[in-house]
Structure 1
Amino acid sequence: MVLLNLSFIINRLANKLMVDVPYQWLHWSRQQPRKFICLQANQTGSERLATELAQVLFGYFQSQNDSFAQLSSQAPAPVHAVFWQNSPLLADKSVTSLPDDVLTLLERKLLSKDRQTPTLAGGELNGDEFRIRVINAQQYRSQLGQENRLLVIDARQGFNPDAIAALSGTIIGGGVVVVIIDTQITADSISLTHFIGGIENRSNCLALNLTSANEKSEWLAPLTRMLTFHDVASDLRSLPDLSDGAVNQAQQEVVAGIVKVASGKRDRPMVLTADRGRGKTTALALASRYYLQQHSTSAQLIKIVITAPTPQAVATYFRHLQDSEGWQVNGLAAQFAGHQVKFMPLEQLIEEKQDCHLLLVDEAAGIPIPQLLSLSKQYHRLVFASTVHGYEGAGRGFTHKFLPYLRATYPGTRLAQLREPVRWSVNDELEQLLFERFFLNASLAELPSVASLPITAQQLRYRWGHGRDLLDDEQLFSQVIALLVSAHYQTKPSDLKLILDDPNLVLGLQFSELSTAEQQAERSDTTGNNHLLVGVVLLLFEGGLAPELVEKISRGERRIPGHFTPQSLLTQANADWAFAYTYGRIVRIAVHPDLQNQGLGQQLLSASEQYAIERDINGLSTSFGVNSTLFNFWYQAGFQIARLGFSRDKASGEHSVLMLKALTPGLRSQAKRLQQQWRENLPGYLSDEFKTLPASLMAMMLSASSDQQNLGVAGERDIDADNLQQLQRFIDGSRQYSYCVPALHKLLMSLAKNDYSYVKNIASQDEPERHPHSLLLAKVLQKVSVTELVKRGGVSGQKALLQQLKDATRALLSQQTY
């Protein structure tokens, strides 16, 4: 624990008058319950709905402000509000609002200058007290890290669990969430019905059907009762007074840990995870404030840099600094005693290494994995802070991909977690609703200690059905989601909507049967049926569209959700035949982490294949961010390459690959031809679109996609005697590299299926890109510069690199027989 020095305590006492108001507001507001209102409405009557809703909200926040003003004799925080709707029209950035839309009308009502109501503090709550921001579609992520008192979501264009979960996390205690849904969409959406079903019997949550009310607005009375403010007993004179301004002991310990990163040994990063509303951003600000105040007399300039996916995400951080005496805050930069704190965009931090004492990375799960890796390699005093619920951007890739890398690379990595809410009260009903209905806290059940390991094929049982079939078994449903979360960094709340609402999606559940002795020893299990859930697969059936619709897709006029495979083949691989076949796309596959590497995943794929064959499906498909481990899994299951995406996924930093496994002769010949075409066209892309693709992975894909099986027939490799002679002379140094490039190119492009084990072993090494074979492929096929390869290979210079290339050529020739 870092002890505070006397000067800081004196500063805090001198600063007390300034910090009292925001500090009191924080503690007062977090004791007030958050309100959740779900209004079922149609597309008409927006004017009346907006007028009456504005009136109720206006009165609620006025009473709330009055109550706080009576206790503190100070003005409370403005009513920061965010309005979100899933309208395609608002995708046009030039359009900021929609005419006659309920959100636009509500915004006008709340901001109306002619509406003024005296408050008990002698002030006025009017349009100037509201700070409203209208956002749409994926812009909800821009609000992560901010604090709002009002959230209104118009979900009549579509139910988006990701947006509701993310934006609700910005609402502080005493705040209000209003979700407007369409009656018809509710009737058609099982996921929405499931969500609304959780509102019942919660005192601070209310669901109203406006369409069933009469013209006298019968819904207004219960809404008014729900939004009649009743102050929870508060005593601002007995607030906790932790020495560093922390709200609770756990936050104070985190602050001390952050300070230790700045003042202790290098390369010992800290990772702070927390659910929404736990005060992680506040902890970053408090630590920054304390560290600089502790070094206020230092002659050395101290610089703290904070970054995040968006500048808006750090608004709370700088607001805390602004509330402190002696700090000069100008936008996203601050100074104290000559020392500096500033926000910097990710791209700038990566391209221009900064000389800073501490780098804070907020909302880290919203940052692409490659950028996180770059930061961890360039900076030596790092704190990563984030939630990890899947809707942040990089999803759960932060915990599944980046965190294991960080701990392996820097053994001194420290993990910290904040559990107690800061923005709202413990046992908050809105948080409970979101966690329960979106399974945000689903966790894997521990395997029974008596379970037989390894699991044999004879113990496995399979169950196929739709997501709605699981609604009657909440425990099993929770385990399904937990398995998916454990295996896939892209799993997010909106996956629940896909599982429950898409009639073409089928769940395959893989169970291990317990023996009689195991059943007697283990009274409870994950299903209640004497079976253990060990694997899950999501199978989405695609194809079978009408010819006229296919023609519009081909011309780029339509994009049909739920038919990724044929649409991708048609528009990106020029496969005119794509919609002549049906596909079972494997959207997700997961095996219990404690049971992996036993072949259960391959057996689950085999069961999926049999299920598809029984339903006359022509083939299976899958698409994923490709790396050597995942590619090997799907290749071993008999899948072929169909296409490789040019751009890298923003979350994983990996190129997306589409693979097929044909189940009928017709599709089998088409898939083979498609893979041949991909391999023939590949050289034209390797030095440009695929220049950053790992060379070790490219070697695996070249080998796997070859039509040739036999190593021993030189003619099949397109390597003649002249080519072999050039290669030998390159090895012995009698020919310069440049004169041998054509022969080297042929050698690498002739990788055959029997080379697969050789190149896979290279890719499985700790640093496969440093292997001579990877350097050779990167130089010859991807045209990577000598400077970059010297750095990548960790060699002393060009001469040493050349020797590595020669060694790789010799090894490959000895591996292959001519």
Structure 2
Amino acid sequence: MIEDLVRLRQELADSACRGALLVSGEKSASEQLCADLLPDLEGEVLLIGSYPLADLQPAQRKTVLGRECQTLIWNLHSQPDINTLAASAGCLCRGGLLLILAPEPDDWVDSFSLADGSPSLFWQHILSELEQWPYLAQYSLEAGFLAQEMPFPALAAESDLPTADQVAAMHRVGRVLHGHRRRPLVIRADRGRGKSTLLGLSAAEFLLEDRGDIVITAPRKEAAATALQHAAQRLGTSGETLSSGSSSLRFMPPDRLLDELPEARMVLVDEAAAIPPALLEKIVRHYARVVFASTVHGYEGSGRGFDIRFTETLNALTPQWQSVELQEPVRWSEGDPLEALINRLFLLDAAAPEPAPAIKADQCEVVLLDKLHLLNDNTLLREVFGLLVVAHYQTTPSDLHHLLDSLATSVWVLRSPAGRVCAAALVIEEGGLPAESFDAVLQGERRLQGHLLPQSLVYHCGLSEGLELRCARISRIAVLAEYRRRGLGQRLLQAIEHFASAEGLDYVGSSFAADTTVTGFWLQQDYLPLRLGVRRDPCSGSHALLVAKPFTERASNALTPLYNRFGRHFCLQLRETYQALDAALALILLNQSVSSESLGKDEWRDVQRFVSGEIAFEHAYPSLFRYLQSGPLSQLPEGEDTELIISRVLQAQGWTQLARRCALTGRREVEHRLRQGYRLFLSLEQGQTSDHE
């Protein structure tokens, strides 16, 4: 074995490739073999697994990104974390070896099985891709060493750093800092191209010029660690904040950045594809010099989804934005065959299907896919997963595992007459649980895995029937960008609702990061908002909204009071819990509220006096608040004045903050806009009353 391993490593070194060796056999024997090999492995060794091998401790996902190794060990016997497996592949350097410990191929069905005893389709997919890869070397404890079918290609030797790509990109970043304002730069790169290194080196160079503060943001601090590390090395310093002269570089998560809006000469956004477009848009609106770095095929989010969703925003707000793409790998050679294998194993390069000719929703066919058929049709699998990736800002390799192996998850697609996938949805059956667990869940002593909606309805809403009610939770629903707003999503959702009702489920629901577009879609389909999360997700910067649509009398009797309570409480919560909530989103939810409050004549008179300028805001405030709480209009009108009223009256945002946001000179102009908005409300209310008469 040692001689074969030495020969394989020499071939990899000579060809400047990375390779993989599949060690198949019984668990304890193959793990012992690997442990015996550890002293002979040169360079850094990284283990991905659930437990140690000899003295080698497994790496955690948070510590994987940014590391480098010459040998990477995947212990599949230990059922490792899928996301860590995929992320670790980026650590393996040029000439490195991926050592995969696994059962004999004939034993994978029994070794990787689900709770009901059925085989894991995800691991069948992994095995199939490994066996089809012509560069795979194999070692069986029973049959010995088997060399790869095809010799490794001879690739280019290691290039000097920074690469020509990086130098060119650093020049483009410099133009953002020194050139015209409002011309953001988008850096696109596949994994291993050194984009984070580029951001760090660029930040350090600009700090040395002492031209002002720089903020770097990313979905998680770990995602910005490489950039910060290279900046610190270049500056010869360390700490949470890196300084040079009077200028500094620091990390801020997206939600905090947008809450505090610190002064910054430039903002660097790493892993931008994993940050919701609504937050990226706010960054572009507020900061004049921004650089976005997006991984095309990554673990933190989909660069293709970023392109589709965010390009339109940049075209509208900053039409002179620029882009650059890093092509040359840094850690491995151009054309490295292992990179293609990793992409296929975890569908990192899965793309949404090409759009079909113009179609209508009623021409499409809704199909509930058989997962075995999905596994055996690689093109269909890649189309479905690619569509789900593009439609969601955070998709990880574990989502593929869940799609194929979750027994409670079904996959629905909408197909064009030509058979093209135009829309897709993942649906999870939840609930139907014994009521005996209610107290433990209510008191937070028990968390129900795989039952997100029942868990929330009991723990957050105190719904006594929350566990027993059966539901279909739509965890993902996606429509090809070219076909959105044509009724395809509605058609797919209606088919799922019909199926759920026929199966005797009590309701259909979902929980999602709330923004105006997604929330508007669900509410237009008559889904009831039941709960808005009190904390914003640090990655998405959004509150999670739980919605549901009852189909049985029991569900209607249980969920309708929650909907009414949400309407009563939401107006009050805006001042304390949701003070920073997007006013446009607040408007959508307020227009869904049902109010039984009535406004007194004296309060109505105060509103009129405020509109006419007789009394100041402070004197009229209680009545202005009560006016909105009483629901005077069936629908508050959309517009900047309405959003300003929500921000000041309901959310109690300050005059200075609102003046800055709306580009007004100060309180006087803000108050004028408030009077203008209430004047419109009174006018519409009078017209509404006349219509009823």
Shorter-chain TM range is 0.7 to 0.9
CA distance in 1 between counterparts of 2:593 and 2:162 reads 58
Match of 1:199, SS?
Answer: helix
Q: Which residue is equivalent to 2:195?
A: 280
Aligned with residue 173 of structure 1, among 80, 86, 94: 94
Give the counterpart letter for 2:360 in structure 1: I
CA distance in 2 between counterparts of 1:152 and 1:692 reads 46
In structure 2, do the counterparts of structure 1 residues 231 and 612 end up closer, same or farther at CA, with 3 Å as the change threshold? closer
Check whether the contact 1:640–1:660 (CA below 8 A) recurs between aligned residues.
yes
CA distance in 2 between counterparts of 1:164 and 1:232 reads 25
In structure 2, do the counterparts of structure 1 residues 682 and 340 end up closer, same or farther at CA, with 3 Å as the change threshold? closer
* CA displacement, residues 252-281 of structure 1 (integer Å, 9 cap, x when unaligned): 533443343344333322211111112324
Is 2:313 the counterpart of 1:405? yes
Check whether the contact 2:536–2:543 (CA below 8 A) recurs between aligned residues.
yes
Give the counterpart letter for 2:338 in structure 1: L
Is 2:468 the counterpart of 1:563? no
CA distance in 1 between counterparts of 2:133 and 2:429 reads 38
Is 2:627 the counterpart of 1:730? no
Q: Tell me how far 1:329 sits from its aligned partner.
A: 2.7
CA distance in 2 between counterparts of 1:395 and 1:494 reads 17
Q: Tell me how far 1:667 sits from its aligned partner.
A: 0.6
After TM superposition, the score normalised by the length of structure 2 is 0.84
In structure 2, do the counterparts of structure 1 residues 312 and 606 end up closer, same or farther at CA, with 3 Å as the change threshold? closer
CA distance in 1 between counterparts of 2:623 and 2:544 reads 30
Q: Tell me how far 1:431 sits from its aligned partner.
A: 1.9
Give the counterpart letter for 2:609 in structure 1: R
In structure 2, do the counterparts of structure 1 residues 741 and 638 end up closer, same or farther at CA, with 3 Å as the change threshold? same
CA distance in 2 between counterparts of 1:812 and 1:743 reads 14
Aligned with residue 443 of structure 1, among 340, 343, 351: 351
Match of 1:579, SS?
Answer: coil
Check whether the contact 1:566–1:579 (CA below 8 A) recurs between aligned residues.
yes
In structure 2, do the counterparts of structure 1 residues 563 and 380 end up closer, same or farther at CA, with 3 Å as the change threshold? same
CA distance in 2 between counterparts of 1:232 and 1:313 reads 34
Aligned with residue 71 of structure 2, among 142, 150, 170: 150
Match of 2:402, SS?
Answer: helix
CA distance in 2 between counterparts of 1:304 and 1:792 reads 22
CA distance in 1 between counterparts of 2:620 and 2:221 reads 49
After TM superposition, the score normalised by the length of structure 1 is 0.72
Q: Tell me how far 1:802 sits from its aligned partner.
A: 1.6
In structure 2, do the counterparts of structure 1 residues 433 and 555 end up closer, same or farther at CA, with 3 Å as the change threshold? same
Check whether the contact 1:388–1:395 (CA below 8 A) recurs between aligned residues.
yes
Q: Which residue is equivalent to 1:106?
A: 55
Check whether the contact 2:82–2:397 (CA below 8 A) recurs between aligned residues.
yes
Larger mean CA deviation between 259-268 and 365-374 belongs to 365-374
Q: Which residue is equivalent to 1:501?
A: 405
Q: Which residue is equivalent to 1:310?
A: 221
Give the counterpart letter for 1:704 in structure 2: Q
Q: Tell me how far 1:786 sits from its aligned partner.
A: 2.1
Aligned with residue 193 of structure 1, among 124, 147, 151: 124
Is 2:175 the counterpart of 1:260? yes
CA distance in 1 between counterparts of 2:389 and 2:680 reads 42
Q: Tell me how far 1:584 sits from its aligned partner.
A: 0.6
Check whether the contact 2:155–2:335 (CA below 8 A) recurs between aligned residues.
no
* CA displacement, residues 270-312 of structure 1 (integer Å, 9 cap, x when unaligned): 21111111232454467678x67xx99xxx6467857464378
Q: Tell me how far 1:429 sits from its aligned partner.
A: 3.3
Q: Tell me how far 1:772 sits from its aligned partner.
A: 1.7
In structure 2, do the counterparts of structure 1 residues 725 and 41 end up closer, same or farther at CA, with 3 Å as the change threshold? farther
CA distance in 1 between counterparts of 2:521 and 2:129 reads 39
Q: Tell me how far 1:400 sits from its aligned partner.
A: 5.7
Where do residues 157-236 of structure 1 align in structure 2 (5 Å cutoff)? 158-179=79-100, 186-188=112-114, 189-202=120-133, 204-205=135-136, 218=142, 221-222=144-145
Check whether the contact 1:142–1:312 (CA below 8 A) recurs between aligned residues.
no
Check whether the contact 1:38–1:207 (CA below 8 A) recurs between aligned residues.
yes
Q: What are the ranges of 5 or more consecutive residues in structure 2 without an aligned counterpart?
A: 1-11, 115-119
Match of 1:580, SS?
Answer: coil
Q: Which residue is equivalent to 2:331?
A: 423
Q: Which residue is equivalent to 2:549?
A: 661
Match of 2:545, SS?
Answer: strand
Q: Which residue is equivalent to 1:470?
A: 374
Where do residues 84-95 of structure 1 align in structure 2 (5 Å cutoff)? 84-85=48-49
Q: Tell me how far 1:611 sits from its aligned partner.
A: 1.1
In structure 2, do the counterparts of structure 1 residues 316 and 645 end up closer, same or farther at CA, with 3 Å as the change threshold? closer
Aligned with residue 540 of structure 1, among 405, 409, 428: 428
CA distance in 2 between counterparts of 1:415 and 1:604 reads 36
CA distance in 1 between counterparts of 2:435 and 2:25 reads 37
Check whether the contact 2:223–2:271 (CA below 8 A) recurs between aligned residues.
no
Match of 2:113, SS?
Answer: helix
Q: Tell me how far 1:705 sits from its aligned partner.
A: 2.7
Aligned with residue 59 of structure 1, among 24, 40, 56: 40
CA distance in 2 between counterparts of 1:729 and 1:160 reads 64
Match of 2:399, SS?
Answer: helix
Larger mean CA deviation between 165-174 and 276-285 belongs to 276-285
Is 2:666 the counterpart of 1:815? no
Is 2:240 the counterpart of 1:344? no
Check whether the contact 1:510–1:533 (CA below 8 A) recurs between aligned residues.
yes
Q: Tell me how far 1:643 sits from its aligned partner.
A: 0.7
Number of aligned residue pairs: 659
The percentage of counterpart residues that share the same residue type is 28
Give the counterpart letter for 2:250 in structure 1: M
Is 2:658 the counterpart of 1:754? no
CA distance in 1 between counterparts of 2:212 and 2:474 reads 48
* CA displacement, residues 615-634 of structure 1 (integer Å, 9 cap, x when unaligned): 11111001111122211111
Is 2:365 the counterpart of 1:461? yes
Give the counterpart letter for 2:671 in structure 1: L
Q: Which residue is equivalent to 2:117?
A: none
Check whether the contact 2:17–2:154 (CA below 8 A) recurs between aligned residues.
no
Check whether the contact 2:427–2:476 (CA below 8 A) recurs between aligned residues.
yes
Where do residues 309-708 of structure 1 align in structure 2 (5 Å cutoff)? 309-310=220-221, 313-315=224-226, 329-331=236-238, 343-346=249-252, 353=262, 360-365=268-273, 376=284, 379-389=287-297, 391-392=299-300, 398-399=306-307, 404-448=312-356, 451=357, 453-457=358-362, 459-513=363-417, 530-706=418-594
CA distance in 1 between counterparts of 2:489 and 2:391 reads 12
In structure 2, do the counterparts of structure 1 residues 790 and 257 end up closer, same or farther at CA, with 3 Å as the change threshold? closer
In structure 2, do the counterparts of structure 1 residues 590 and 201 end up closer, same or farther at CA, with 3 Å as the change threshold? closer
Check whether the contact 1:150–1:175 (CA below 8 A) recurs between aligned residues.
yes
* CA displacement, residues 455-497 of structure 1 (integer Å, 9 cap, x when unaligned): 151x221211343331121111111112212222133322111
Aligned with residue 600 of structure 2, among 696, 717, 720: 720
Q: Which residue is equivalent to 2:661?
A: 792
Is 2:683 the counterpart of 1:803? no
In structure 2, do the counterparts of structure 1 residues 552 and 314 end up closer, same or farther at CA, with 3 Å as the change threshold? closer
Check whether the contact 2:527–2:547 (CA below 8 A) recurs between aligned residues.
yes
Is 2:686 the counterpart of 1:779? no
Give the counterpart letter for 1:392 in structure 2: E
In structure 2, do the counterparts of structure 1 residues 548 and 29 end up closer, same or farther at CA, with 3 Å as the change threshold? farther
Larger mean CA deviation between 806-815 and 729-738 belongs to 729-738
Check whether the contact 1:30–1:173 (CA below 8 A) recurs between aligned residues.
no
Match of 2:376, SS?
Answer: coil
Q: Tell me how far 1:605 sits from its aligned partner.
A: 1.1
Larger mean CA deviation between 371-380 and 543-552 belongs to 371-380
Check whether the contact 1:39–1:207 (CA below 8 A) recurs between aligned residues.
yes
Match of 1:176, SS?
Answer: strand
Q: Tell me how far 1:602 sits from its aligned partner.
A: 1.0
Is 2:24 the counterpart of 1:35? no
CA distance in 2 between counterparts of 1:266 and 1:736 reads 40
CA distance in 1 between counterparts of 2:645 and 2:228 reads 48
Two-structure CA RMSD over aligned residues (Å) = 3.8
